[in-house]
């Protein structure tokens, strides 16, 4: 099976998962327990499946955030709400607000079929060296079919993400370099810098390192840089294809067709910010 099939799966599931980071109703649901800062609303719910982990663990697994900024919110968030309660609150928010976002694309029959295929893929995952995916896989799947689908897609998303971190490490791209390298144009690069909490000087130094290695020139990725970037993505695909080989080509194609309308609907929320749009173009 062509490993790029894993990249196709990502393209039709990323917005479906990522809407939780951009949906104002979801973010408002966290405010009821005192989570009012945007970064805490990201660090807390995403890391909660791992339990009361330290800031260093969150910084290591999330990879591209400034550890100093992570420490401003972790472990403080655990004094406001327990990880298990936050996991439940997140799933509850998904169940309450995802249907309205998806609208007519949330066809019950399609959801039921997609759930079975996604569950099959998750059951075929191996979680060695994948802390975020392994932790998410331990969550009891919700009874509501749409929320269950979101849960399984999230496990698969973290499975790919954990593998992407491995690929970045192999290619010696650090927490800042991987972001500058992704989109070196000034506007997007600045959005990444601010959202991940890095300082201007250290960000500029990361850019200089990439220039010295011949990966970027000004606001553009060089030919050598494109080769390296594709190598990173190809390795990520290779590390993510495992569970999909258990399904087969026909099942993957069916899953893509089922998820595509729902993902397109979710994009309308994710694309409300420049950062969300840039994320989907990776």
Q: Can you tell me the mean pLDDT for 240-262? A: 96
Of 149, 186, 183, which is closest to residue 13 (Cα–Cα)?
Answer: 149
180 vs 274, residue with greater confidence:
180
Q: What is the structure's pLDDT at 9? A: 98
- The confidence score (pLDDT) of residue 272 equals 76
pLDDT value of residue 254? 98
Cβ burial, residue 260 (10 Å; 0-12/13-18/19+): middle
Query: Would you kindly state where each structural domain of the chain is located, as residue ranges?
Result: 4-280
Average confidence (pLDDT) over 163-180: 97
Distances (CA, A) of 159 to 76, 118, 239: 27, 13, 9
Q: What is the helix, strand, coil percentage profile of the chain, to 5?
A: 75, 0, 25
pLDDT band at 270 (very low <50, low <70, confident <90, very high): confident
With vertex at residue 24, the alpha carbon angle to CA 131 and CA 83, rounded to the nearest 5 degrees, is 35
Residue 273 has pLDDT above 70, yes or no: no
Reported confidence tier of residue 274, pLDDT bands at 50, 70, 90: low
Q: Residue with structure tokens 């990879």?
A: 63
What is the Cα–Cα distance from 255 to 43, expressed in whole angstroms? 29
Query: pLDDT at position 278, please?
Result: 56
Q: Please, which residues bridge with residue 216 across strands?
A: 221
Whether the predicted pLDDT of 161 surpasses 60:
yes
More confident residue, 277 or 5: 5
pLDDT band at residue 171 under the 50/70/90 scheme: very high
pTM for this predicted structure? 0.95
Alpha-helical (H) ranges within 12-80 are: 14-18, 24-31, 38-47, 55-62, 67-71, 77-80
Residue 10 has which token pair?
A: 């990502």
Q: Is it the case that residue 86 has pLDDT exceeding 80?
A: yes
Quick one: pLDDT at residue 280? 60
pLDDT at 111 over 60: yes
Query: In this predicted model, what pLDDT tens digit does every residue of 209-227 receive, in sequence order?
Result: 999 999 999 999 999 999 9
Distance CA 112, CA 125 (A): 20
221 beta partners:
216
At 217 the three-state DSSP class reads strand
Write down the residue that tokens 């499975």 correspond to: 159
Which residues, in sequence order, are bridge partners of residue 217? 220
pLDDT: is 281 or 212 the higher one?
212
| Measured distance CA(265)–CA(254) in Å, rounded | 18
Q: Answer whether residue 276 shows pLDDT above 70.
A: no
Radius of gyration (C-alpha) of the chain in whole angstroms? 18
Mean pLDDT computed over 120-129 = 97
Specify the DSSP element, H or E, that contains 133.
Answer: helix 131-137
β partners of residue 176: none
Instruction: Say if residues 196 and 66 touch (Cβ distance below 8 Å).
Output: yes
Whether 45 shows a pLDDT value over 90: the answer reads yes
Percent of the chain whose predicted confidence (pLDDT) is above 90: 93
Q: Could you tell me which residues come within 8 angstroms of residue 57 by beta carbon, excluding any fewer than 6 positions away?
A: 47, 50, 131
């Amino acid at each position: 099976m062509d490993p790029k099939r894993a990249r196709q799966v990502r393209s039709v599931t990323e917005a479906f998962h990522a809407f939780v980071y951009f949906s104002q109703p979801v973010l408002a649901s966290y405010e009821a327990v005192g989570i009012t800062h945007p970064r805490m609303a990201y660090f807390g719910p995403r890391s909660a499946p791992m339990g009361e982990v330290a800031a260093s663990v969150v910084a290591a697994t999330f990879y591209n955030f400034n550890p100093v900024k992570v420490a401003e919110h972790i472990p403080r968030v655990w004094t406001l709400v327990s990880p298990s309660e936050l996991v439940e609150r997140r799933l509850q928010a998904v169940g309450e607000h995802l249907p309205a976002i998806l609208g007519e694309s949330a066809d019950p029959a399609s959801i039921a079929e997609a759930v079975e295929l996604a569950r099959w893929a998750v059951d075929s995952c191996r979680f060695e060296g994948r802390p975020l995916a392994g932790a998410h896989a331990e969550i009891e799947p919700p009874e509501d079919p749409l929320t269950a689908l979101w849960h399984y897609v999230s496990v698969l998303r973290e499975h790919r993400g954990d593998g992407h971190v491995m690929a970045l490490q192999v290619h010696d791209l650090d927490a800042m370099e991987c972001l500058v390298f992704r989109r070196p144009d000034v506007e997007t690069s600045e959005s990444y810098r601010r959202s991940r909490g890095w300082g201007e000087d250290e960000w500029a130094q990361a850019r200089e390192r990439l220039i010295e290695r011949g990966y970027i020139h000004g606001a553009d990725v060089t030919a050598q840089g494109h080769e390296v970037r594709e190598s990173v993505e190809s390795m990520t695909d290779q590390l993510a294809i495992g569970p999909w080989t258990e399904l087969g080509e026909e099942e993957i194609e069916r899953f893509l067709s089922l998820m595509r309308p729902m993902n397109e609907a979710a994009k309308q929320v994710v694309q409300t910010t420049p950062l969300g749009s840039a994320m989907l173009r990776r």
